Amino acid sequence: MTIQPVFEQEIKQHAIWKSLVLHLIPGVLILAFVAVAVPILKNLGLPLRFGLLMGIFFILIPFELGVLFYEGKKRNGTFSLNGIVVYREKISIKQYLLWVPLLLGWSVAIFLLSSPLQVYLSKTVFSWVPAWFIVSDAGYSKTILIVMVVLYGIGNVAAAIVEELYFRGYLLPRISRLNGWAPLVNAVLFALQHFMAPWQQLSIILGILPQVYVVSKKRNIFLGIIAHSLLNLLSSISLALSIFG
């Protein structure tokens, strides 16, 4: 099937209220889901991180893909993402080889450098959050931890792909009337919807902002998908090393 290009002027813009809701509701739903799952996980003797994992598989992915395919059904008459997920213009391999390492390196540097700030914020500004916001992987059997790490790796990469389709391929183009402000608004709202880790929101904004600008400038979401997936993969490897290293 040939995918027809969708030009900027053809993309129907979202009202401000609609854009806010669509940006933030995934985080609201995940927060509500984890809050319900916490006592169940405690009774089962499972790490609270399983709540976040289930939130990815049962909430984040189904909701965001559901919105995309619902809009595709309305527009195309079939469950097609043609005209829904845009910013799919072709770029050269050289540009991927240039931009992906730069964007990934920037994000990794930001998260490493801001790690002490995140710890400080979690203990001061956000000290009021419930104890189950702070996940701990200590005291569980090796089998449980191995299963958790494997699922975390799969879920983390899957979430990155779906989030890029949803936030950058769908939502970002529909606030393009904001011109140069659109990537900033998209990055800020994307960070704010991480309600389960509010102390990371500033780091997420700084870490993801160049990526959003490049995706918007190049009209290519695959740059974001690759960089975001690699970043989440590194996060999963880091978790595994912290547990088993």
* β-bridge mates for residue 220, sequence order: 88
**Residue 150: strand, helix, or coil:** helix
Confirm whether 186 is domain-assigned. Answer: yes
At residue 9, the pLDDT reads 54
Give yes or no for residue 231 having a pLDDT over 60. yes
Confirm whether 6 is domain-assigned. Answer: no
Cα 24 to the chain's mean position, in Å? Answer: 12
Q: What are phi and psi of 88, to 5 degrees?
A: -120, 35
Confirm whether 5 is domain-assigned. Answer: no
On average, the pLDDT of the chain sits at 93
Q: Which domain holds residue 59?
A: 15-77+90-244
Confirm whether 40 is domain-assigned. Answer: yes
**pLDDT tens-digit readout, 2-46:** 444 555 557 999 999 999 999 999 999 999 999 999 999 999 999
Confirm whether 237 is domain-assigned. Answer: yes
Confirm whether 10 is domain-assigned. Answer: no
Confirm whether 146 is domain-assigned. Answer: yes
Residue 209 exposure: Cα atoms within 13 Å on the Cβ side: 14
What predicted TM-score, i.e. pTM, was given to this entire model? 0.93
Q: What are phi and psi of 166, to 5 degrees?
A: -80, -55
- Which residues of 26-166 form beta strands (DSSP E)? none
Angle at which helices 201-218 and 93-113 pack, to 10 degrees? 170
Confirm whether 83 is domain-assigned. Answer: no
Give yes or no for residue 200 having a pLDDT over 90. yes
How many domains does one find in the chain? 1
